[in-house]
Amino acid sequence: MSPCGRVCAAPGPGVHRLPRPVGGRRSAVMLALPLPRASEPALTATPTPALPAAVLWDMDGTLVDTEPYWIRAEHELVAAHGGRWSHEKALKLVGNDLLTSGRIIRDEGPVPLPAEEIVDRLLERVVELVRERVPWQPGALELLGALGAAGIPCALVTMSYEVLASEVVRRAPAGSFTTTVTGDQVTRGKPHPDPYLTAAKILGVDPRACVGIEDSPTGIASSLAAGVRTLGVEAVVPVPHLAGLSRASSLTQVGLGTLARIAAGEVLDVTV
């Protein structure tokens, strides 16, 4: 904070008066600088927390509100094979790697197809819907713009496959993402730490100096396991209360200052 100067009508304690000029003329000029007192420590400015080395974004539910697209695709696929799907079952898939979700749909739909084919059909439908309209989460584009202006690299860390992630990145402001890590690029998906560790390695940064933004318990577990400072932003499923986890109700509550404080080790709760 910048110091505020004061104009004094008469010298007060600690104000140093300039010597009277030669010739005896009276002078009202004073150097209004307080002299140090032994009993008062020197004032120092509060340091501003450094911005994170990188921001690692989850995609579905965090950057874009595509979970309704996935749920719609699941219902359509299960119904096409004579099965029944519920919203409760759909919520259990949020944040999972796609092959795990494919196996659950195969078994519980039931859908008599290999898990890999189920994933392909779901992806095809969700990509089709994203091409019609990208449902950006409120505040997402603004935060991406602020990070870009500040020179903070971003990575997209998603369990969706490259075919979908590329559609989203293509429609984001140019240069928003330095790299992407997708579910078909890692052997172990979320909740394992591998996706976030891979992103940090590609960017050449310490994961502990990054901030991860997630919406699902599965993704949050992955980010925390990688040692990444993590912000959970609620979307379709509740964000848990966990040690070391910051929380927000919306990206509209999150700015560069928020991310800097989280990167510095503060655990914030800006939910409303």
Report the catalytic residues.
58, 60
Three-state DSSP string of the chain: CCCCCCCCCCCCCCEEECCCCCCCCCCCCEEEEECCCCCCCCCCCCCCCCCCCCEEECCECCCECCHHHHHHHHHHHHHHCCCCCCHHHHHHCCCCCHHHHHHHHHHHCCCCCCHHHHHHHHHHHHHHHHHHCCCECCCHHHHHHHHHHCCCCEEEECCCCHHHHHHHHHHCCCCCCCEEECCCCCCCCCCCCHHHHHHHHHHCCCHHHCEEEECCHHHHHHHHHCCCEEEEECCCCCCCCCCCEEEECCHHHCCHHHHHHHHCCCCCEECC
Nearest to 158 by CA among 223, 76, 87: 223
Strand, helix or coil for residue 148: helix
